[in-house]
Every structure is written in structure tokens, then in C-alpha cells.
Amino acid sequence: MIFKLDLHAAKRCSFFVRQVFPLTTLAVALCPDSSLALPSGVKKVASGTLIEGTPQASLFQFKNGLKLIVLPDHRNPVATLRLRLDGGSNREEPGITGLAHFFEHMMFRKTKGQPEGQFDKTLSGIGGSGNAATSTNFVVYNSTFPGPALDIMLDLEMKRFRQLDLTDPYFTTEKGAVISERRLRYENNPLQRGLEHIRRITQRGTQREWLTIGTREDVENMSIAQAQKFYKDHYVPENTLISVGGPFDVNSVVKKVHKKFGDWSGTLKARERKNPQDILTRDSGKNFVCKEAVNEQIFQIVFPSTKTSYNDLLMAHIFSELLDDHDEGAFSRRLNNKNLASAFGFYKVYWQHGFQPVQAYFSLSREQDFQKALGAFRSEVERLKKLNWGKEFRERLQKSIEVDKAEAAEKMTSLVESYEWNQSYYGDFLISKSFQKVVDELSVQQLREWMNSTLDFKKAYIMGVTHSDRHPPCEKLTVAGTKL
């Protein structure tokens, strides 16, 4: 019987099933690997599933450098298409900042040979929706739509990734929109204005020292020639990861993507610069705290780290869970109940290369004192360094993992984003599957060693925006800072 075939015997499966049921869904189900008839220049790199019970995803590599993740999910008729470009603000240089974010806007305006606004009109016409986001590392363009409209969406994306119309009046109009956004979100916001000054100092000498939106001067002086060069240098296949999820056959998706993007060419011209050699030590023990007319005070403790592994990210997550594992509730609630802070967060920053600090974040009212909140946090860190975490905490952590898995599995768009995130930051689209294994094997000693090596207050520095006259105006903040 067909259903009792030894599926590990790939050659027999391929010959028998495909002879009896050529190009059918049964052949695809029984022999998923052998049924792939990939276009020339495309190879399957890996396949697997992050969460048991969800469809298997596959990763493909195109000859031109393009990467493609396909998740064939037939649980509902909705599809998603995501294009992640490794071209955030960390690909810019002083004097030409803001270009990455500018393209987040410009990509929705006009492509060559098409009317202005055609992307939004077409997407709306098929009952879809879309958006984009720019970060230090990436620009992501995403859309959801009815599955049968995949051809239309791939054509739209091909045109704006390969045929964007970077001419006036579209260029000048969109530049004006970015200038207005910058004025509203940053220049007229005292808190964001202060954080911009601090970032310029603490990230000096790196391609993270400016905001993603760029400096006002650079955006105002941005030229069509600069934008055309950025587009040519960064909107290239080597720099792009496409993710497709929905009610599709894998073969069909690969062929459709190859038809639109297989002959796409271009050479990546600029990569992120190396960090200054002293980036982990130059600001140890300093305060970068300044004054603005704010009603909410913001402080961050930054623990520099060169650890960029997924395991280190999990250590930070587990430590955050330990902070909240208390009879009196989460650490943020305890700070709030004692009137020490209104909000708290602990996380690892996802920068791509060589410097991924761990940060503790505090939000305070005007009346609250950061030094008291800092003292409470330091005491909690010391307590946890001595804690022997046991079976009950491990079980609660495992339960939280299961909840997170269930939420991701329920929504196809979230599942696709998880594969994409894994690939983009760690080069392994299945890496988050190892979370459970790390928790199962983690010892008290390993976690304690992570705390001692990472949460070292002598190596940390503090950033903050406050209303207090004890600190200099943010515009006068200097590299020297003040000692803790």
C-alpha cells in the first residue's frame, strides 16, 4: 500500500509515488523533498518546523544571493508576503543618514511605468493590507492578502524592489513627509530629543549614533543622486530575504518567486563598519543623564556585551523571568507598589554585529527618584546571583514557553515572522526551536556564571532623560559624562 512506504528511502519513494501519482498533492505529502522540481540556480538549504503540529517550512537559496522561506499553511485562506532588506540605518554614513527610513516611505509611492500610489490601490483592491518598518538593522515590507492574489503581490514587490521611480515630484514630496514626521515625533518631543543627544554620544564612532530617521540636516539635504545610489547599492538580491506563508504548494511558490526575482542582479556595496575597539570599556562607570522639559523620566542601565549567540539571548530572557518570579509579583509591580518606578523592562538589544548589550529600562514619574529604583534593582540582581532556582521555576518557565508556542502557532503571520527573525539575526531559521532544550539542560551554575559575567555594574553605564536641574541640558551633554 502507498501509505506504508518507507519514506526514508527517498529514491524508492520518488520513483514509485511520482510514477503513480505524478504532480499531485499526495506525491507532495508523501515525498516532500523528492517532489521539488526547483528552477535552475535555486537550491533547498534546509527544512523543518519550529512548533510541533504546524506545517514544515523550507529555506531556499537563489544563485543571485536571494533567500526565500516558504511556509505552506492551508489552515486558512489568508497569505502573507514579507521582504526583509538587510539595509537599515547601520548601512548609512555621516552626512547621508535617514536614507533607509526614507525608502520605507518612497517604496509606496511610484514605480516606473505605473501610476503613483498603484501599490496601495492594488493591495486594497484585492482585500489586502500592508505596512513597512525601519530599524537600525533592517527594513521590512509586509503584506497580508487572499492566497490567490500571490502572483499580483509578487509582481508589485518586484516592481518596487527593482523599478522604483526616484524622480521628482515624488522624491521631494516624500522627503517633505519625512521632515514633517521628524519634527513631530522627535524635535517636538522632549523625551525623544533627549534620547537622540544621548545616542549620538554613547554610540559615537558607530553607524548607530544617529536615529533611524536620520539627522534633520541630512534629511533636508538629501538628494536624488544619494537616494539612487543607496537604492542601487542596497536593494539587491544578496541583501534580501523573502518569506511567503499561506495556502500554497512549495513548488509553485518557488517557481513564482524565481520568475519575478531570479534574474534580479546587483552587488552589495556597503556593510556595517567594525565597532571601535574600546566600545566595551570607554564609558564604563559613566552617567549620560541630561535635562529636558519632560513629565516622564527615562533611565537605562547598559551592560555591554559581545555575546551574540541565541543562547545568550535566552539567558537574558530567563533572567527576566527570574526577576518576575516572586510572591509579591513581577519586579515592575514591586517597584510600582513601593513608588520607586512606574515601569520596568529587562532585555537584550538585537543589533546584528559584535555588540548586543543587555539593558534594564526604568520609567519614572517626576516625583520618583532613580537612585532608589537603581538600588532596588542592584539588590535584586545580587539576590538572584545567590538563588538556587529549582523545579517549580523551571516548570513555570516551560509553561510560559508552551503558551508562547501556542500563540505563535495559532497565527500564520506570526509563525512566518519567527522563521524570518531567526534567519535574519542568527542565520538559522530554526534556531528558536532549541529554547526548550536550553531550559531542560540549563544548570544553576551556568545561569549564575552568566549573571556574574554580564550583569557587572562596574562595566555598565547609565543613560537618562530627566527634568532635574542637577543635570545639564541634553544639548550640552558631553562625551565625558559624569561618574556613577
Structure confidence by residue, pLDDT tens digits, 206-231? 999 999 999 999 999 999 999 999 99
Please identify which residue in the block is written with the cell numbers 500564520. Answer: 412
The reply to whether 298 falls in a domain is yes
Instruction: Identify which of 197-201, 404-408, 409-413 has the greatest average pLDDT.
Output: 197-201
Q: In what order do the strands lie in the sheet with 240-246?
A: 42-48, 57-62, 67-72, 240-246, 78-85, 139-146, 129-134
The reply to whether 71 falls in a domain is no
Distances (CA, A) of 187 to 8, 181, 269: 62, 9, 32
pLDDT over 50 (residue 345):
yes
Best CA proximity match to 464, nearest among 242, 199, 244, 269: 199
Long-range contacts of 217-225 (CB under 8 A, 24+ apart): 218/95, 218/96, 218/97, 218/98, 219/97, 219/98, 219/102, 219/175, 219/178, 219/179, 219/182, 220/179, 222/96, 222/98, 222/99, 222/102, 222/175, 224/166, 224/167, 224/168, 224/171
pLDDT mean over 437-443: 86
Indicate whether 253 and 294 sit together in one domain.
no
Indicate whether 112 and 232 sit together in one domain.
yes
Strand ranges inside 135-225, DSSP E: 139-146
Indicate whether 464 and 372 sit together in one domain.
yes
Please identify which residue in the block is written with the cell numbers 542582479. Answer: 265
Which amino acid, residue 447? L
Indicate whether 384 and 246 sit together in one domain.
no
Indicate whether 240 and 296 sit together in one domain.
no
- The pLDDT of residue 25 is 37
The tally of domains found in the chain comes to 3
pTM: 0.89
pLDDT over 70 (residue 6):
no
Secondary structure (DSSP) of 280-319: TTTTTTEEEEEE-S-SEEEEEEEE-----SHHHHHHHHHH
- Count CA within 13 A, CB hemisphere, residue 247: 10
The reply to whether 144 falls in a domain is yes
Indicate whether 297 and 351 sit together in one domain.
yes
Indicate whether 223 and 297 sit together in one domain.
no
Indicate whether 212 and 311 sit together in one domain.
no
Cα 48 from Cα 418, distance rounded (Å): 13
Best CA proximity match to 254, nearest among 15, 25, 35: 35
The reply to whether 189 falls in a domain is yes
The reply to whether 52 falls in a domain is no
Q: Read off the pLDDT of residues 136-168 as tens digits, 9 standing for 90 and up.
A: 999 999 999 999 999 999 999 999 999 999 999
- The pLDDT of residue 350 is 80
Indicate whether 171 and 295 sit together in one domain.
no
Indicate whether 138 and 22 sit together in one domain.
no
pLDDT mean over 232-247: 96
pLDDT over 50 (residue 450):
yes
- The pLDDT of residue 35 is 67
Contact 422, 428 (CB under 8 A): yes
Supply the range of the domain harboring residue 138.
78-261
Q: Read off the pLDDT of residues 100-124 as tens digits, 9 standing for 90 and up.
A: 999 999 999 999 999 999 999 999 9
The least confident of 10-19, 109-118, 411-420 is 10-19
* CB-based burial, 440-466: b 16+ in 10 Å, e otherwise: eebeeeebbebbeebbebebbbbbbbb
- The model's confidence at residue 99, banded by pLDDT at 50, 70 and 90, is very high
| Burial zone of 249 (CB within 10 Å; 0-12 exposed, 13-18 middle, 19+ buried) | middle
Which residue(s) pair with 346 in the sheet? Answer: 360
Share of the chain above pLDDT 90, in %: 75
The least confident of 93-102, 323-332, 437-446 is 437-446
The reply to whether 8 falls in a domain is yes
The reply to whether 45 falls in a domain is no
Q: What is the CATH number of the domain that holds 402?
A: 3.30.830.10
Best CA proximity match to 423, nearest among 265, 157, 243: 243
> Kind of pairing, strands 67-72 and 240-246?
parallel
The reply to whether 326 falls in a domain is yes
Domain boundary among 227, 261, 295: 261
Indicate whether 257 and 294 sit together in one domain.
no
Cα 466 from Cα 198, distance rounded (Å): 12
pLDDT over 70 (residue 33):
no
Q: Over the chain, what is the mean pLDDT?
A: 89
Share of the chain above pLDDT 70, in %: 92
Which residue(s) pair with 80 in the sheet? Answer: 144, 245
Where are the alpha helices (H) located in 51-149, listed in sequence order?
99-106, 118-125
Q: Read off the pLDDT of residues 190-211 as tens digits, 9 standing for 90 and up.
A: 999 999 999 999 999 999 999 9
- The pLDDT of residue 14 is 39
> Kind of pairing, strands 461-466 and 296-303?
antiparallel
pLDDT mean over 387-408: 84
Report the residue count for the chain.
484
Indicate whether 102 and 138 sit together in one domain.
yes
